[in-house]
Amino acid sequence: MVKALKIEIFVLCMIILIGLAARSRRSLFSSTQQLLFSMLGYTSAAYIFFDMIWTLSDGVDGTLGIAANWISNAVSFSLFAIACLIWFIYSETVQGSRLLTTPYRVALLTLPTVLVVALAFTSYWTHALFYIDAQGIYRRGALYMIQPIVSYCYVIYTSLHAFVQARKVESLQQKAIYRTLAFFAVPALVGGTFQVAFSIPGLCVGILLSILLLYIVYQEQLISTDPLTGLNNRNRFETYMLSLFSGADQAKDVYLLMMDADGFKQINDHYGHVEGDHALQVVATALKDVCSVSGGFIARYGGDEFAVLQKAATEQEIISLCTAINDELARAEVSYSLRMSIGYARVGDGVDTWQDLLRAADAELYCVKAEKKKAGVQIR
């Protein structure tokens, strides 16, 4: 009965992991992240499958039972280390780590996993990581601890790296991702502890919860992200504004920049809507390049309207930022002129709520556009 329940848990975890891996292509992952996340899901599912085979074959004597026990352990030892390596590469890729900048470095990072795989598949003769006794029972070998040390070193390093990154970045979106990466291993570690203490398949449940949590966070990003530009959408922008004004002094020294593209209608009319979409992507890239460095929260508010929430000690910093945005757009490799009309407002002096801030910045944008119109600048 107990063994049957374990098998049901194994099978359920495998099905869900395979489903998550298959559906990862419908998320915000880049192509590299898609591949790594899919590999992580499939590798974890394969590890659970061979762990299940070990559960069924352990203690079964006879040639077939011992062979199944030996093969399942050799493969599961290898797959667990490989899964941890894939997780390490995935997490460091998301964090933009310099460890993965050259094939030589990647090759060096994979060597410990290669060692584990070699030890696992030679344990039949060496008994290094494990062996199967005459009764068909799994026993640990003298070098057993090499596998968990290698595996957990990958996980612990990248978790600590993500934790440090989460404390550095200002973007709520990035913070959420880095925190998820930092605490990714916790469910698996807790599950593994329960598995050792109570002989239940806690590790596979922990692995499933870790990957599921990561998938949910990315789906939340998908819901909150503008699909054309990759920026935060209006819903995410308003949620961020609410959170900003909910805490004491969080909105201190915060400026809101509201902007839209001059002559955007002419771009659509003259070059077509495909090129118009490309123009919006160029604007989004420029805003990321200029504002992300200083922790700005960037969103596409709607149409050709964009919003940036930026902390600054002085108004001059914001004026310089507005100039830098248009200077960056002036360098864009497009066959038409791209320039933004920008209005901004600061929290304080009667601007006490996020609605007040939005109205004030919008009114300032309207004044900027009115002045441009008087000067004969095409703003529509």
The pLDDT tens digits for 327-371 are 999 998 888 889 999 999 988 767 778 888 999 999 999 999 888
User: What angle, 0 to 180 degrees and rounded to 10, lies between the N-to-C axes of helices 202-223 and 186-198?
Assistant: 160
Give the percent of the chain with pLDDT over 90: 47
Could you give phi then psi for residue 283, rounded to 5 degrees? -60, -45
Q: Where in the chain is the domain with CATH 1.20.1070?
A: 2-223
Q: Which of 191-200, 243-252, 269-278, 284-293 has the lowest mean pLDDT?
A: 243-252
Nearest to 158 by CA among 79, 71, 236, 91: 91
Mean residue pLDDT of the chain comes to 87
25 Cα distance to chain centroid: 14
Q: How far apart are CA 264 and CA 283, in angstroms?
A: 11
Q: How far apart are CA 332 and CA 47, in angstroms?
A: 48
Question: Which residues are 259's β-sheet partners?
Answer: 306, 342
Q: Where in the chain is the domain with CATH 3.30.70.270?
A: 234-374
Q: Which of 170-184, 306-320, 341-355 has the lowest mean pLDDT?
A: 170-184
pLDDT at res. 209: 92
| Position 1 pLDDT exceeds 50 | no
Mean per-residue pLDDT for 138-148? 92
376 against 80, higher pLDDT? 80
Could you give phi then psi for residue 139, rounded to 5 degrees? -130, 145
Say which CATH architecture domain 234-374 belongs to: 2-Layer Sandwich (3.30)
The CATH fold assigned to 2-223 is Rhopdopsin 7-helix transmembrane proteins (1.20.1070)
| Position 378 pLDDT exceeds 70 | no
Specify the DSSP element, H or E, that contains 306.
strand 305-311
Mean per-residue pLDDT for 50-69? 89
pLDDT at res. 170: 66
